[in-house]
Structure 1
């Protein structure tokens, strides 16, 4: 029901604002304002969107709850859509969503009304710390990391017949990971 009311009310508000502002300042200045807000909004959404992506990545890297950075990113995306939509009311709401303080208020408003059943992050095993030659930095041992050693092999000496050597046949069965 609320969505239906929004689809009816918002266009009516926009039409009323276009008529009022256009009557007060004229057609061309009104269209210029709509165009300038779209350009300015696009620039602001781009810069704040990149910052939001960095915040989300940082929360994932530090294994923090990503809910707030994701919500801020979603609100910035919604702000971009609203700012690209022609209209004064949608521009006002879009610019409000680009304000971090307003986004924080909206996030807290939504947080009070949303109930989370369960939330898990990361794997269920705990990390243990090892020290030794392979783990010099006292890093946690992980089950998805394979330790290994390598040595560099000098390339074979050049052959007097490079055309023959360029068509070498494999000496083993293909593993499925390489094409022979």
Structure 2
């Protein structure tokens, strides 16, 4: 799955317009205050659920690590909760629906499974490469044997 710049540009242009259109329609059908209250309500409720589910994900990661297991599923759930929380804080109906779907434990497993399948396919096709580094501040290893002049042997049995 290759995402081009033009697709992202269209996404970032059209989604806000669609969100604005929906919010204006809600304001026309009810009142501007109702639309504003809806934005605030979904933001507050979404932040609460994201925080609650985020804590549960961190607990699951800690349990997996304590059991000596790789917390792969918990990490995917963590990404879903993080992205869902960001979407819930973004004003709009569509982003709120997708955000709640990512945050709530009833719908998150479906989206997490889809995400794992997509990511596995991307790795298999070579679109994702994994690199490893030992860090930025690694000291060079000296593999030369130690010089005997630097070794001090202390014998506790001898008296001074």
- TM-score (normalised: structure 2): 0.67
| Structure in which a larger fraction of residues adopt helix | 2
- Map residues 1-180 of structure 1 onto 2, 5 A cutoff: 1=4, 2-115=7-120
State the distance in 2 between where 1:3 and 1:22 align.
29
Tell me how far 1:104 sits from its aligned partner.
Answer: 1.2
Residue matched to 1:157: none
SS at match of 2:68: coil
Q: TM-score, normalised by structure 1?
A: 0.60
User: Which consecutive segments of 4 or more residues in structure 1 shift more than 3 A?
Assistant: none
Unaligned runs of 5+ in 2: 125-160
CA distance in 2, matches of 1:114, 1:83: 24
Q: Distance in 1 between matches of 2:118 and 2:86?
A: 24
- Cα deviations across residues 46-103 of structure 1 (Å, max 9, x unaligned)? 1111111000111111122311101111111111111111111111111111222422
1:114 is displaced (CA, Å) by 2.4
Aligned length in residues: 118
Quote the Cα distance in structure 2 between the aligned partners of 1:9 and 1:95: 21
Asked if structure 1 preserves the Cα contact closer than 8 Å seen for 2:42 and 2:96, the reply is: yes
The alpha-carbon deviation at position 113 of structure 1 amounts to 2.4
